[in-house]
Amino acid sequence: MAEKEIDLIELWDIIKKNLIKIIFIGILFAIASFAISKFVISPKYQSSVSLIVNKEEDKSNNNGIQLNDVQLNQKLVGTYTEIIKTRGIAEIVIKNLGLDISYEDFISMISVISKNDTEIFEVSVKDTIPERAADIANETSKVFKDSIIKIMKVDNVQILDKAIVPKKPFSPNIIRNTAIGLLFGMILSTFTSIIKYLTDTRIKSSEDITNEFGLPVIGIIPDKKL
């Protein structure tokens, strides 16, 4: 039997015939995504501290900030973002706050983002407890600032904005996840309907006989049930 071909008009007819089922399955997936996001996935909160790398104050130099100083500080940002995530910094923060977490847990919670072509970088902490997220972010920045003096022998890090307790969770995004669930369910249902149609080899009309076998239809036996 020849492979069944399908054109855009026929494709649209399949979608229209199965539209109610497609919408229904999409709604089911949306409800499932909403329920999982709302009641299964633990909400995470994000709190951040902004820091800046600047030149140590030199009272003998009254020429202001030089371009070379800015470029040097921008390069230091990359080094400092790695120092923040070291075990030494993490262990001090964990001890100071009395946290019952491992170094690996700490690293998974914290992220350091440098602002493009600037001397500013941001320390962000994601946690299921909003107060703890802010505490870890603030303590990490404080410990890091103090440690840099010992490690690099310079005092060139300043805290611009301290972390505050977030009021709303950072994730999951319930609205986005629900919309994705709806869209995925409808696409999956549409794809399934098309595959089912293409793999259905039953003869449903006289046109099917002509299309499949190239034979003319001589007569039609009426259905006795009619």
pLDDT in tens, 154-164: 888 999 999 99
- Give me the sheet containing 45-53, strands edge to edge: 110-114, 120-127, 45-53, 157-161
The mean per-residue pLDDT over the stretch 159-186 comes to: 96
Asked whether the beta carbons of 158 and 51 are under 8 A apart, the reply is yes
Of 58 and 168, the structure prediction assigns the larger pLDDT to 168
1 pLDDT tier (thresholds 50, 70, 90): very low
pLDDT of residue 203: 60
181 pLDDT exceeds 80? yes
Does pLDDT of 224 surpass 90? no
Residue 44 region, left (φ>0) first, then alpha (ψ -120 to 50), else beta?
Answer: beta
pLDDT of 75 reads 78
Which single residue is written with the structure tokens 């329920």?
35
